[in-house]
Amino acid sequence: MTPVEVTPTPTDTLTPTPEPTATDVTPEPTPTATPETATATAEPSATVTVTATATATVSAEPSTVTAPAPTVTTTTVTWVTQPASTSSELPWGLVLSAVLVLVVGIAATVWLARRRPPVLAPVGPAMPATPARGLLGFLVELGQGMLAASAPAGQVNSDLLEVARVNGAPGAEVVSLPTALFVSLPGEGSTQTAAASAGGRSLRLDQVQSVLEVARDAQDGRIGPDEGSARLSAALAAPEPYELWQRVVGYAAASAGLSLILGAGWADVVVAVVLGVGVALALQATARVSGGYVALVALGVAFAVSTIVFLLARTGWRLVPIAALVPPLVTFLPGALLTTAAIDLATNQMVAGAARLAAGGMQLLLLALGITAGAGLVGVPGSLATSGTSPIGVFAPWLGVALYGVGVGWHNGARRGSRRWILLVLGVAYAGQVVGGLLFGGVVSAFVGALVMTPVAAVVSTRPTGPPAMVSFLPGFWLLVPGALGLVGVTSVLGQSLDDALATVITAAVTMVSICLGVLVGLAVSAPLVRWLRRAS
């Protein structure tokens, strides 16, 4: 029989039922037909060829699909700036002691705030409704004294306007500048105006306290213009409260204390003390030098101190330059001036702030020029960027704070009753700076230090024996030493490391602004409490 080849139509296709498989393949939407040949025999002698229209893989046994091996990817986080707490080199003993001092300081402040001072009755008759006789002259004298005390221009203006209002002149006008003062009082049909120079002298801490106490009593209505003028004259003519040897020892102690705060070793402390004695004697010898030669005094002292320090370093003494060089020059560092300038600028007193900023910058340039000249003479690089960790011990900075507070009080004539309050404010300021340095880094540490010391100083000023806040602020500004940072940077500019110098100058500027903002925030926080305490008194 002849075989017949039959090609079935799609409807005649016999699809065998496959056995279950472990793999089911889903055809693509448009499959590509792959001819597969299956032979079916309709009769013993017939051959049937079936062409499938879809591709299917039939497997009698289950197939195993091997998954690809997982790829482990490791991502390394690159820090642009690490958290300050992880990169801080502050010893934990210093940090814990700073936290303890902060807690004690805050507790003391709360305790002082809860203790109401004795009520002080107003002195003399009530202030008249019309301007008092001699009011214009008193306002001028008071403004001159406050400007000499380094009070910000905004504070001078507000205090003088309040004194004028209390004395029956609510329409007074005051314009205060670092070197000039203008006061106008409205009258019946005319206006009296007075102009006077200001800022021509520097005051001791006891004189600053006397001037600010007169301003406070005049604002409260306890004294009139005549008594106020008499008290101002007595304060400005007051003799030195300490002997010469006490002032010299005080300057040496302040130099030693600041040296310990800056991480000095014993050799650095000895050098700072000896040079501090020499600088104190030089200041006493040049106390009557006229204003035109004050710049030469700063230049000459900086040159002499730097020459001695660099000679000692060249002969093999292991010194930390900043710890041996900066402390003897502490009286020339314009830290308080630069900070007051920043406060003026932040309170829209642009003219006063710019003038003080220029004066502080000029002071830094004079010091840097003297230091660089001394370094060039003995062949030592003029950069002071090196700092150190105190080999004396973890608690050496606290000893430095105590020495610094006592020394500043003696050398700058602080009243005996005010010295313990100054030490309290200094301790809180440094503790805040240490904690701020751990949490936020070195630059913002100045903000934290100023922030925590301001309410303490404000509350202390409400105590009967407490000095005005400015008396406590000034040593605190010197402790935070933005001027010291600026000195390092400007000296590097005159030397060889321009990049490091610019970075340090920027750091000094940011530090100054940080202190300013800390004081402003602290004043805003403590103002309601201070007003309540003064009303209670």
Same domain, 329 and 474: yes
Same domain, 212 and 299: no
Mean pLDDT of 107-121: 67
Average pLDDT, integer, range 151-179: 92
For residues 294 and 228, membership in a common domain is answered with no
Residue 65: the pLDDT is 58
Mean model confidence pLDDT for the chain: 77
127 pLDDT band, cuts 50/70/90, is low
Q: Per the domain annotation, does 423 fall within a domain?
A: yes
Least confident of 9-23, 86-100, 259-273: 9-23
Q: Which residues contact 189 (CB under 8 A, 6 or more apart)?
A: none
Is a pLDDT exceeding 70 seen at residue 331? yes
pLDDT of residue 369 exceeding 80, the answer is yes
DSSP state of 360: H
State how beta strands 47-51 and 5-6 pair. parallel
Does any domain span residue 122? no
Percent residues over pLDDT 70 in the chain: 71
432 or 290: which leads in pLDDT = 432
pLDDT at residue 410 in the model: 94
State yes or no: pLDDT of 143 exceeds 90.
yes
Mean pLDDT for the stretch of residues 396-406 = 92
Predicted local confidence at residue 36, as pLDDT: 44
Q: Are residues 357 and 481 in the same domain?
A: yes
Indicate whether 188 pLDDT > 80.
no
User: Cα–Cα distances in Å, from 200 out to 145, 177, 354, 447?
Assistant: 10, 12, 18, 30
| Separate counts of helices (H) and strands (E) for the chain | 18, 6
Q: DSSP readout, 257-324? A: HHHHHTT--HHHHHHHHHHHHHHHHHHHHTTT--GGGHHHHHHHHHHHHHHHHHHHHHTT----HHHH
pLDDT of residue 384: 43
Question: Looking at 236, 262, 290, which one is the last position of a domain?
Answer: 236
Does 295 fall in a domain? yes
Domain boundary among 18, 38, 54: 54
Res 390: pLDDT: 54
**Lowest pLDDT segment from 239-248, 324-333, 422-431, 525-534:** 525-534
- How confident is the model at residue 156, as a pLDDT? 95
Whether residues 303 and 343 share a domain: the answer is yes
Phi, psi of 26 (to 5 degrees): -90, 125
Predicted local distance difference test score (pLDDT) of residue 243 = 92
- The arithmetic mean of pLDDT across residues 251-266, rounded, is 88
- Is there a domain that residue 324 lies in? yes
pLDDT at residue 165 tops 60: yes
Predicted local confidence at residue 232, as pLDDT:
95
- 363 in the same domain as 276: yes
pLDDT at 144: 94
Q: What pTM did the predictor assign? A: 0.77
Considering the domain architecture, whether residues 405 and 281 belong to the same structural domain is answered as yes
Question: Which residue has better confidence, 54 or 75?
Answer: 75
Exposed, middle or buried, 246 (CB in 10 Å: 0-12/13-18/19+)? middle
Q: Which of 213, 236, 259 is the last residue of a domain?
A: 236
Query: Based on the domain organization, do 323 and 301 belong to the same domain?
Result: yes
Do 354 and 232 belong to one domain?
no
Task: Measure the CA–CA gap between 249 and 239, rounded to whole angstroms.
Answer: 19
Rounded to whole angstroms, the Cα distance separating 530 from 516 reads: 20
Q: What integer is the mean pLDDT of 378-402?
A: 68
Task: Kindly calculate the radius of gyration of the chain based on its CA atoms and give it in whole angstroms.
Answer: 40
205-214 pLDDT, tens per residue? Answer: 999 999 999 9
Give pLDDT, residue 382: 44
Give the count of domains, the chain.
Answer: 3
Check residues 251 and 500 and name the one with the higher pLDDT. Answer: 251
pLDDT digits (tens, 9 = 90+) for 38-64: 444 444 444 444 444 444 444 445 556
In the predicted model, is pLDDT for residue 114 greater than 80?
no
According to DSSP, residue 327 is labeled G
Q: What is the mean pLDDT of residues 216-234?
A: 92
- 227, 293: one domain: no
Domain that holds residue 47: 1-54
Same-domain pairing of 229 and 345 = no
Residue 65 lies in a domain: no
Q: How many CA atoms lie within 13 A of 94 on its CB side?
A: 27
Average pLDDT value for residue range 225-229? 92
- Given a cut of 50, is residue 482 above it in pLDDT? no
- Label residue 515 by pLDDT band (50, 70, 90): confident
Task: Report the pLDDT value the prediction gives residue 11, as an integer from 0 to 100.
Answer: 45
Q: Give the range among 68-82, 218-232, 248-262 with minimum mean pLDDT.
A: 68-82
